[in-house]
Structure 1
């Protein structure tokens, strides 16, 4: 079970790297709407999701986190942050067996249970799907800024990997 997650993580990390490499240093404070994250906040979130969520999923029961949106000082911080995040996720996931993956994981807010699912569900949904969602948002930010968007699952308007 874990081998499939690790393989997907590695493949998607390469795609995420291509998106993060396009983030312009001079636009980190740009945001498409007053309620949206800045480009820098979103890009750093995309870079750090896998490692943070993998670590979050190691405990059987956790308290719902309070979210903050740090921003990088510059775009050069993004790829090293991604590399650290992927290394952490691989290390954490590599230590999990099927019993660990199928065990119930709980998220609480005080004494109230918010979520109770098999740990593999947390990794699939909150680590991977959540990561892809925000990477998609980031690609829209890049498009709005006039930055060429890389191919993700096929051609983009700017890049055709099959040509």
Structure 2
């Protein structure tokens, strides 16, 4: 749970930069990649990473975001650009609309009383979770994957090293 607005901003800035790098590696063709019939395509998953009201709506935080459950754009570049703009808008909203004290206030989210600092924490973990799914679909689509918490296989190779075996 976040105790300060600035701690969320710092974490989200770092995490959103990683997400943005991955989204920038998508191609229009890759957006149709699916893991299995009946599951999200890479394009739908990428669009799901763009912040929307969702989990944050009950807290009263307002920021410029696409409508909940809207159809994804047709191009990878449009998804990546909307992600960057929306992430920036979210950080600005938290910075200007909330105080550290506001993070201690409780809102009803999914029928449960959650402190706003917890809601921000779970919002960020939700993005990290789906970003992991994104990297798997990117591999299946034959796209390069950028490292998030360490170098990817391609990044190890670029510095002349072999990725450690697991």
Coarse TM-score class (shorter-chain normalised): 0.7 to 0.9
How many angstroms apart in 2 are the aligned matches of 1:27 and 1:154? 24
RMSD, matched Cα: 2.3
What SS is found at the alignment partner of 2:152? Answer: coil
| Unpaired stretches in structure 2, ≥5 consecutive residues | 62-67, 160-166
Give, in whole Å, the separation in 2 of the partners of 1:100 and 1:72.
34
> Could you tell me whether the CA contact under 8 Å between 1:21 and 1:79 is conserved in 2?
yes
**Conserved in 2, the CA contact under 8 Å of 1:23 and 1:75?**
yes
Change (3 A) 1:162 1:13: farther
CA deviation vs aligned residue, 1:74-104 (integer Å, no higher than 9, x gap): 1110222112211221122102112211111
TM-score scaled by length of structure 2:
0.80
Q: Which runs of 5+ in 1 are unaligned?
A: 61-66, 109-113
User: How many aligned residue pairs are there?
Assistant: 149
User: Which gives a bigger RCO, structure 1 or 2 (Cα 8 Å, sep 6+)?
Assistant: 2
1:150, CA displacement in angstroms?
0.6
> Is the 8 Å Cα contact of residues 47 and 79 (structure 2) preserved in structure 1?
yes
Corresponding residue of 1:129: 125
TM-score scaled by structure 1?
A: 0.82
What does 1:49-64 correspond to in 2, within 5 Å?
49=51, 52-53=53-54, 56-59=57-60
